């Protein structure tokens, strides 16, 4: 059996249980908060059904933001996703993050897929949203503002 990469292990880890710190997130403008799923992830939905999800994982193996950002980027490129521009750095309070947008062909449309990673010494926060190009671009600014609102408490 081939050993899995750190990213593969990270993507397979379940979100932390309720005993872990909780996420505080402002929903993107125009989105309504939804009930957390079984994985305790933060969820918000646009009226059109576009999902914005924020999940929390243990930072194991403990690595910095640069490592996890590059690991996520390399994994998605290997899976065939195409970057839509360069990744961008952002701040969510005291926590630094990296966000990427991906172009994903789906049927006759192009979708945009947002992935963002924030890292503390003990936790990895992953935010995601995806939708048809026109819909995604309508909510892009609100998504960016929501990323900056993410806090652990």
HSE (side-chain half, CA atoms, 13 Å) at 71: 20
The pTM of the full predicted model, rounded to 2 decimals, is 0.84
Both tokens of residue 69? 């950002």
For residue 133, the model assigns a pLDDT of 95
Which tens digits make up the pLDDT trace of 116-129? 999 998 999 999 99
- Residues ≥6 apart with Cβ < 8 Å to 102: 76, 81, 82, 83, 84, 112, 113, 114, 115
Rounded Cα gap, residues 23 and 9, in angstroms: 22
For residue 7, the model assigns a pLDDT of 46
Which tens digits make up the pLDDT trace of 38-78? 778 999 999 999 999 999 999 999 999 999 999 999 999 99
| Closest C-alpha to 113, from 126, 100, 98, 122 | 100
Which tens digits make up the pLDDT trace of 126-148? 999 999 999 999 999 999 999 99
For residue 39, the model assigns a pLDDT of 79
């Amino acid at each position: 059996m081939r050993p899995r990469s750190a990213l593969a292990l990270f993507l397979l880890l379940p979100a932390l249980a309720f005993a872990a710190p909780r996420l505080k997130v402002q929903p993107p403008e125009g989105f309504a908060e939804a009930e957390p799923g079984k994985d305790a992830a933060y969820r918000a939905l646009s009226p059109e059904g576009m999902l914005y999800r924020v999940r929390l994982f243990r930072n194991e193996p403990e690595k910095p933001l640069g490592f996890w950002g590059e690991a996520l980027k390399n994994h998605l490129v290997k899976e065939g996703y195409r970057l839509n521009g360069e990744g961008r750095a952002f701040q969510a309070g005291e926590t630094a993050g990296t966000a990427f947008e991906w172009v994903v062909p789906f049927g006759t449309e192009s979708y945009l897929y947002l992935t963002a990673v924030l890292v503390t010494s003990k936790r990895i926060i992953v935010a995601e949203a995806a939708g048809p190009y026109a819909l995604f671009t309508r909510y892009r600014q609100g998504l960016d503002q929501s990323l900056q609102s993410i806090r652990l408490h």
